[in-house]
Amino acid sequence: MAHHARAKAHTNIALSKYWGKRDNDLILPMNGSLSLTLDAFHTTTEVRFVEERGADTVVLNDQPLDASAAAKVSRFLDRVRELKGVDWRAEVRSYNEVPTGAGLASSASAFAALAAAASQALGLKLSERELSILARKGSGSASRSIFGGFALWQAGHDDQSSYAYPLQSPLHDDIAMLVVVINAAHKPVSSREGMRRTVETSPYYPAWVDDAEQRLGEMKQAVVEGDFTRMGELAEMSAMRMHASMLAAEPPFCYWESGSLQAMQTVRELRAQGHQCYFTMDAGPNVKIITRTSELAVLKRALAATVGEQALLTARPGPGIVVENC
């Protein structure tokens, strides 16, 4: 019998950020988050289990994965094997159309696709909620990439209560994201290390957690009611407050580069001229601009002048996970 399946997942960008873990092993977050899944960046992963013991093989974009990343994939596969009660080795082949490590949350689509392909290959019939819980244990943000459009990952209090679910929104058909690639190189501080350091050392961190949970409720309301302006204001605030918590860590760290600041300033100027646009940033220097489809042309023109046209990527809401047997 073939134990072979393929899944395609799209990445997501958080509008209300997740920053900090309560449980590093299960990846339980300190606070809930809300994201938009994008159509432009995705990962397709094939998993084949072979009914024998042995080392897993993991290939990303036709290259063997480095040892520490491959070990992380194997540890994740152990969780899936455990659910089925088997110890079979796996062959994993993945294609990533997200610039890896550039703060575009490639781990979100990667672990969502891996969770779906591996569980399908073993014939586990997981619900979307169960898939979200499983994907979360690979990378927190992956819990949200099971779903298309807007998704809310509730922090929960244990393994079974920490999962994402989709949100319907009148904003869905009109929202767009413009990604400004400032630097596509691998980020110097991983989100895992950055979160750990912030939680353990930043005196601003408790304030972040308090505020994030409260603002998440407001963000959910803005998204569900279709209040673009409030959604944008809250998204920008969430990003600024998350980065503020890192600036206060010991030793401090900062993902922003001069180009990031320039892009943020352009967004503020365009907004002052009446354009509907807000920025957000993750664990990397790239700036993501939340806007309306009708504003894209103006934004692109303004930003192309400073960063160049080739540094701009356009995205619209993307679909949820697709999985099939091979």
Spacing of C-alpha 202 from chain mean position: 23
Q: Between 5 and 20, whose beta carbon lies closer to ligand PMV? A: 20
- Is residue 33 within the footprint of ligand PMV (CB under 6 A)? yes
Question: How would you list the strands of the sheet with 175-180, edge to edge?
Answer: 277-281, 287-292, 175-180, 312-315
Q: 187-222: b or e for each residue (b if 16 or more CB lie within 10 Å)?
A: bebebbebbebbbeebeebeebbebbeebbebbbeb
Pair 34, 151: CB distance under 8 Å: yes
CA dihedral of 146, 196, 29, 183, whole degrees rounded to 10? -40
- Is residue 197 within the footprint of ligand PMV (CB under 6 A)? no
- Is residue 238 within the footprint of ligand PMV (CB under 6 A)? no
Stretch of residues binding ligand PMV (CB under 6 A), selected from 12-20, 155-163, 178-186, 199-207: 12-20
Question: Least separation, in Å, of the C-beta of 106 and ligand PMV?
Answer: 8
Half-sphere exposure at residue 52, Cβ-oriented, CA atoms within 13 angstroms? 3
Contacts of 115 (CB under 8 A, 6+ apart): 7, 76, 80, 131, 134, 135, 138, 142, 146
Exactly one of 126, 283, 289, 299 binds ligand PMV (CB under 6 A); that residue is 283
For 63, the 3-state DSSP assignment is strand
Exactly one of 11, 37, 45, 107 binds ligand PMV (CB under 6 A); that residue is 107
Residue among 17, 96, 35 at smallest CA distance from 284: 17
Question: Least separation, in Å, of the C-beta of 96 and ligand PMV?
Answer: 14
- Is residue 191 within the footprint of ligand PMV (CB under 6 A)? yes
Residue among 166, 141, 159 at smallest CA distance from 28: 159
Q: Between 18 and 205, whose beta carbon lies closer to ligand PMV? A: 18
Pair 115, 153: CB distance under 8 Å: no
CA dihedral of 241, 245, 247, 250, whole degrees rounded to 10? 180
- Is residue 41 within the footprint of ligand PMV (CB under 6 A)? no
- Is residue 234 within the footprint of ligand PMV (CB under 6 A)? no
The residue type of 3 is H
Pair 163, 302: CB distance under 8 Å: no
Exactly one of 18, 49, 88, 278 binds ligand PMV (CB under 6 A); that residue is 18
Question: Least separation, in Å, of the C-beta of 18 and ligand PMV?
Answer: 3
- Is residue 299 within the footprint of ligand PMV (CB under 6 A)? no
- Is residue 20 within the footprint of ligand PMV (CB under 6 A)? no
Q: Binding marks (x or -) toward ligand PMV, 66..85, rule CB under 6 A? A: --------------------
> What CA–CA distance (Å, rounded) separates 18 from 208?
10
How many residues belong to the site for ligand PMV (CB under 6 A)?
15
- Is residue 56 within the footprint of ligand PMV (CB under 6 A)? no
> What CA–CA distance (Å, rounded) separates 302 from 266?
7
Pair 39, 4: CB distance under 8 Å: no
Q: Between 98 and 175, whose beta carbon lies closer to ligand PMV? A: 98
Q: Between 5 and 36, whose beta carbon lies closer to ligand PMV? A: 36
Pair 138, 158: CB distance under 8 Å: no
Exactly one of 119, 139, 169, 291 binds ligand PMV (CB under 6 A); that residue is 139
Q: Between 107 and 245, whose beta carbon lies closer to ligand PMV? A: 107
Exactly one of 20, 32, 140, 317 binds ligand PMV (CB under 6 A); that residue is 140
- The residue nearest ligand PMV at its CB is 14
- Is residue 282 within the footprint of ligand PMV (CB under 6 A)? yes
- Is residue 179 within the footprint of ligand PMV (CB under 6 A)? no
Q: Return residues touching ligand PMV (CB under 6 A).
A: 14, 17-19, 33, 105, 107-108, 139-141, 191-192, 282-283
